[in-house]
Amino acid sequence: MITTYPESRRDDQVDVYQNAAGEAVQVPDPYRWLEDPDSPETRAWVSEQNRMTAAFLDTLPARGAYRDRLTALWNYPRESAPWKRGESYFRQFNPGLLNQPVLEVSASATGPWRTLLDPNALSSDGTVALSSASVSRDGRVLAYGTQSGGSDWITWQVRDVASGEDLPDRLEWSKFSGASWLPDGSGFYYAAYDAPQDGGALTGTNRHQRLMLHKLGAAQAEDMVVIERPDEPDWGFRAEVTHDGHFLVVHVWKGTDPRNLLWVRPLHSDEPFTELVSDFHASYRLVGNDGPLLYVQTTADAPRGRILTWHVGTGEQREIIPEGPDALQEDFTALVPGGLLTVALHDASHRLTLHARTGEAHRELPLPGLGTIVNLNALPDDPEVFLAFTSFLSPATPYRLILPDGQLESLSDTAPVFDASDFEVSQEFAVSRDGTRVPMFIVARRGLKREGGNPTLLYGYGGFGISLTPAFNPSRLAWLERGGVYVQANLRGGGEYGEDWHQAGTLGEKQNVFDDFIACAEHLISTGVTSPAHLGIQGGSNGGLLVGACMTQRPDLFAAVVPQVGVLDMLRYHLFTIGWAWASDYGRSDDPDMLGTLLAYSPLHNLRAASYPATLITTGDHDDRVVPAHSFKFGAQLQRCQTGAAPALLRIQTRAGHGAGKPTRLVIEEAADIWAFLEHHLKPQPTSS
């Protein structure tokens, strides 16, 4: 039992908001000083919190056993699905315990492979990650983006594929951007912001994105501004050059709202863009083109998605694949020779179908099981298609598919890292407060006894149209092997059943997400899988908001909570970095009509003196997406409000950000700490290690 926490100074800061009735609402914010991550006081506070947490974790007998087992479980070859450019094939590969995967190139999809770029050589501690890799059409030049210390900021460089040598090009202050090459490989489009001023790289607001064209060999200062809209500071731009090189297509986005604009013009033209979609009423994504005929996937009049053709010259639209009962996955539809490949979600797992270009379904392609397609790499003029497939009990495995008649052919001979036959996956449905059926996957040892005593982790997200599908994670295996149960919930706010499912968990309907998660917890208890004394919950980012809200609303329902890099201060989230972009899901506190909703569930503002579950809050001190102030302020307030014996701890990783690109070494260390913490509180009886 922890009786004394590090001192967290409280100020008399009070903010005044206006509610829907026009009344002034005063809201104290005593830990405002923790919003400055680099102040000496904040750094000293972080150091003291980490010292206390480390001392507690050091007492957990399972910690060393988890670290050893996780190291063994992670030590297996991991390879992405290849992709082809020119006559070369590319893939990412990690032989086991490298901090970062290596980018490789080969003349064949089956190797032998040559290292093209090793991110592990870019830093001594493995904290520089390869965030994006785009190869020119002829396969000769690579544009690659790196991110340092977990930051979202991207630095672009260019490498000659044949020699492996970098060219002089170096582009900075890019964010939320890929690279789209000109057909001749002479340059590429990317998106950038102004350089942050006055140390605002970690917390300053990201607005006024510009679409740029970089020509190889030129200084960044010479890059051409293709689009900038100072009158629309929240707009962002993603450029795509059609495979035939005829058109430049721009997707205009606004925050995390899935609705976008779609603009097009001839590639080498300075004429104004034709605004095919000129208002934010639905999502539109270019799939490919046959000359002036574009193939577009949209949610317009079809929340689960449909595909149409759109003639650039005449404006004529024709639906070729209507909306079906399952949600089409926006990032996976691909134009292939003579046809279209689509991926749809059926009760949160993937289905792959080959269609004619006129839309008729030719055949469903059998997948290896109940799981998820991770990558789908296809070209409209090449019958060789690559994808990777994963499930809860099988690692992501690359496959090749030769169209039109071939079947999936595994490209990997990696031996299993554990015996999957000991475990099983089932899907069950909870009933939420309003009667909605909410699916969840349960992963456990075969013959699970439903007597209420199983240590169980319930994981969720529930936001931004993101779907949680079956996927392999070696970390969870150690939990399963030691008798734990893993449950993954598919909540409203996600995209499992299309855009209506997403919208049902946003803005004024956000409480539905928490109700769904609580219903899943109650289902696990009522069916004997577990009981409140053995049930823990975990979520990251928007999922951190989820578990923070649920622990404040139902502290009696859980024994342990792990909010990771969570959005926990719903009144001020929009004031930092890209936070403003989340308003399409959350709303904002400066909107009187949303203030009451946000105050009703904001985890920070709903902590009261109570007996809360054991809580391990994790964040990175350089998270410039969900700034660490969320976790800092929530942790300080939780420590003040905790009346029970359970600990309220913060684990703050240095040289780390939101999670992407985290070195393997740090991933294993964090996972071992989390599992040991959960086992200690969910399985209190002694266990052999």
pLDDT bin (cut points 50, 70, 90) of residue 687 is very low
- Residue of 152, 585, 623, 624 with catalytic role: 623
- The predicted pLDDT at position 225 comes to 97
- The predicted pLDDT at position 202 comes to 64
What is the distance between the alpha carbons of residues 626 and 622, in angstroms, rounded to a whole number? 10
The CA-CA-CA angle for residues 347, 353, 357, to 5°, reads 135
Handedness of CA 270, 274, 280, 286 (dihedral sign): negative
Whether the full predicted model's pTM is greater than 0.85, yes or no, is: yes
- The predicted pLDDT at position 623 comes to 79
623 belongs to the catalytic site: yes
Q: What is the dihedral of CA 416, 418, 420, 424, to 10 degrees?
A: -140
pLDDT bin (cut points 50, 70, 90) of residue 260 is very high
Specify whether the CB–CB gap between 516 and 461 falls below 8 A.
Answer: no
Distances (CA, A) of 360 to 14, 307, 309: 61, 12, 14
Is residue 245 exposed (0-12), middle (13-18) or buried (19+ Cβ within 10 Å)? middle
526-549: per-residue pLDDT in tens? 999 999 999 999 999 999 999 999
29 belongs to the catalytic site: no
Task: Supply 150's token pair.
Answer: 């977990």
Q: Quick check: bond before 684 cis, omega within 30?
A: no
State percent of the chain over pLDDT 70. Answer: 97
HSE (side-chain half, CA atoms, 13 Å) at 335 = 21
- The predicted pLDDT at position 689 comes to 41
- The predicted pLDDT at position 686 comes to 56
- The predicted pLDDT at position 206 comes to 83
> In the CATH hierarchy, which top-level class contains the domain 14-71+418-680?
alpha beta
- Residue of 136, 467, 541, 589 with catalytic role: 541
Distances (CA, A) of 587 to 78, 185, 295, 583, 652: 40, 42, 33, 4, 28
- Residue of 658, 673, 680, 681 with catalytic role: 658
pLDDT bin (cut points 50, 70, 90) of residue 655 is low
pLDDT: which is higher, 411 or 684: 411
224-251: per-residue pLDDT in tens? 999 999 999 999 999 999 999 999 999 9
pLDDT bin (cut points 50, 70, 90) of residue 73 is very high
301 belongs to the catalytic site: no
What is the distance between the alpha carbons of residues 144 and 135, in angstroms, rounded to a whole number? 8
pLDDT bin (cut points 50, 70, 90) of residue 660 is low
- The predicted pLDDT at position 203 comes to 64
Task: Supply 544's token pair.
Answer: 């951190």
Domain residue limits, the chain: 14-71+418-680, 331-414
40-66: per-residue pLDDT in tens? 999 999 999 999 999 999 999 999 999
Long-range contacts formed by 75-79: CB under 8 A, 24+ apart? 75/417, 76/395, 76/414, 76/415, 76/417, 76/474, 77/412, 77/414, 78/395, 78/396, 79/398, 79/411, 79/412, 79/414
Across 450-455, average pLDDT: 96
What is the distance between the alpha carbons of residues 36 and 22, in angstroms, rounded to a whole number? 32
State percent of the chain over pLDDT 90. Answer: 89
Task: Supply 262's token pair.
Answer: 């779609």
